[in-house]
Structure formats: structure tokens, C-alpha cells
Structure 1
């Protein structure tokens, strides 16, 4: 009897895992040499289509694919890129598209189910030798597709990188500035100056099919969970990584997440 009960549990678990599958149209595994992207003058801004990229680094690539479920699945799924987790929402057909600024060297992209099971994973090597590896990379993501959060970085010389000032004259800037939730936003410096850096996150407002709004209940979750990853010397043997979970409740919240010295 115990044998049959155990076998039954295994079969049910196998069926549950088989109910959800994922495909990745890009990136694909192996080696690639990826140049700069041509950005349209009239980009679409409606999740999950690619958001406006206000950064000037122009190193972003699209991660595109589809999740197929034979039964109702809890949302969201997870997109993990080089260890950076991003809540993954899809359209009615299960398709998704998210921008990411990949660094030189080895990169990984994994789609995980809402239960944490790995659905699809690819590993590729970015061989663009004109792309200098990032020495400082700061990554912001959040779990509310109807909220708009912003990453703010203050560099040692007092310059302020954010959506209205995406490019600094010290070499730092936003590679990706998502405007339609739930991220990512990414700050990159390839030759950082020495000194103290400040990392802030701001709950700017909300976003829906009707555009931006500042209604208190215009977002999806009562508490927005944001995750900020600080990565030093990305894709090298000296890589160091810290992650911070920051809850946000009210439009206008501006929180200091981390002060660090490079």
C-alpha cells in the first residue's frame, strides 16, 4: 500500500512539472558576437513588449520566449539572469520580452516556474571584445507589473544617475531603464572612480494600459518587494555579489539601499 501511495505521489509530481514548459527564442546557447542595437524612435510601451530604453550605453539585448501551461499556473514565474532574479509576467499567450545588458564573458538565462522548478536554461559566451567588462553593476527588479520603480545612483563626484539623467560624464550610466514594470533597471560603470557610492530606490508611480497614474491603489500589490543586486567585477574570478530586499508601500517612497566604497 505504501508503495502504491509513493508511486502515486511521484506520478502526480511528474505530471505537475510537465504541465508547464518554456521556450527561449533568444538568447541562444553557445558563442555570439553581439553588436549595438538600433533603437526605434517610437518604441512600444505595453508589457510584455520591450520598454523604452532611455540609457545611452546601447548594450541591451532582448530576452524573449514563451511559457506554456496546460492548466492554470500561479504567477509570476521567474527569469534568472546571471543570478539576478526578475519576476516574469506574460501576455495572454504566455509570451514575454525583457531587456538586459549582458556583459562580456559567460552569461546564463534561466526560466523558472512559480514553484521554483527550472523550465529552460541557456548558457552563452558574449565574445564582443569591444565591450569592456562591467566593474560595477547595480540591478533593480520588483514584483508588481503595475508599479514603476526607479534606480538612483550617486557617484563619488556627486553626479546623479536616474531616469532624467541616464548618462554621466564619468563613464557611468543606465544600460536599461524600464518604464512599464517590473524592471529591470541597470546601472553600469566599466572604469569606476574610487570613493563612496549611494544606491537608492524610488517608488515613482504606477503604470497601466492607460499610461502612468499616481492613484494609491493603482498598483497590484499592497507591498511592492524590490530586489537590488550589487555586482562587482562581473563575469570574472573576482566577482562579488550582494542582494538587498526592500519593501515599498507608498508612491514617493525614496529609500537609501546601500552605501559602498570602491
Structure 2
């Protein structure tokens, strides 16, 4: 397991397991992502992992799980503890290089830009904690999204990588 100290490792493995139809394995990796005592530099990773896990549990076919009752119970627990209970629009951004600061910006139809320095908009848009050292994630959500076009942007802010390192992708 590469980078077991990084929550994104478990989230990526959970997504991969789900895509391959290994639902029980996906549950294990989501649980590991949720239960980790992650460093503060990972921001709101527990909340974001819970959102992704809840999405998975809402979409998975119960017959693909060895214990569908446990999954249903977990789904209820996750839903109760999330500050984001429902959203018309939800954006989660991660990136592939450590010690990199990429900022998620969402420009709402009104022109208001929700980002790390303006985390709550007049329409109710919310931005998670700014992750300045790590792989993200950062999340934007809005419960009742006004109609119109939303522009999602990734602003590359900083990195301690040399020019010979891996190209950063968000």
C-alpha cells in the first residue's frame, strides 16, 4: 500500500474497488478513510470521505454486499452526521502531488466567487477548509442552487516540487 498515511490513498482505492464491482472492498476502504486520525493539513477530509461514502452506499446494489443491513445502517449514520445533508450542486476536487496548494473556486450565476478566502456566498454556497499542503480534497456545496451557469475553476497556488517532478493534475 503506497502512502498509508494519506487519506486519499484509501479514497482512491475505495473508488477503484467500487468501479470494479468489489463493493465489500470499497466499504473497507471508505471505513479506513473515515476512521483515520489524519493530520490537520488534510482539512475536512473526514466530512468529504463521508459524503463520498454516502454517495457510494446510495448507489450500490444491495445484493453486491455481503451485509446489506450493515451498509443500510451505516448509510443512516453517515447521513445524520453530515453538515451537508443534501445539495443541488456538490464539487469535490483532489490533486495528484503532495505539498501542493490548488484552490477550488466556484463562480455562481450571480458572479460571486466561492473560494478559500470567501467560503460562504449569499446564495448559500459553502467551501470546505483550504488544504495548502497535501492532495486535497476541497469541496463546494450549495443546498438550493439558483438556476444558471456555475463555473468551476482550479487555481494552482503553490508547490514545493522541483521542475523535474510529476506534473500536477486536479
Instruction: Work out whether the TM-score is over 0.5.
Output: yes
Q: Gaps (5+ residues) in structure 1?
A: 1-19, 24-46, 49-62, 64-75, 85-94, 110-121, 208-215, 227-262
Q: Which position in structure 2 is the counterpart of 1:221?
A: 165
Find the structure with the greater CA-based Rg: 1
Does residue 79 of the first structure (1) align with residue 27 of the second (2)?
no
CA distance in 2: counterparts of 1:180 and 1:152, whole angstroms: 17
Q: Which position in structure 1 is the counterpart of 2:80?
A: 128
CA distance in 2: counterparts of 1:169 and 1:192, whole angstroms: 11
1:106 to 36, 39, 54: 54
Cα 1:202–1:104 change in 2 (3 A) is closer
Q: Which position in structure 2 is the counterpart of 1:144?
A: 97
CA distance in 2: counterparts of 1:171 and 1:143, whole angstroms: 29
Q: Which position in structure 2 is the counterpart of 1:160?
A: 113
Q: Which position in structure 2 is the counterpart of 1:260?
A: none
CA distance in 2: counterparts of 1:206 and 1:103, whole angstroms: 27
Q: CA deviation at 1:164?
A: 1.1
CA distance in 2: counterparts of 1:78 and 1:105, whole angstroms: 11
Q: CA deviation at 1:83?
A: 4.2
CA distance in 2: counterparts of 1:168 and 1:193, whole angstroms: 12
1:142 counterpart SS class? coil
Q: How many residues align?
A: 127
Structure 1 residue ranges, 4+ long, deviating more than 6 angstroms after superposition: none
Q: Which has the higher contact order (CA 8 A, sep 6+)?
A: 2
Q: Gaps (5+ residues) in structure 2?
A: 17-35, 58-69
- Which has more helix, going by share of residues? 2
- Which has more strand, going by share of residues? 1
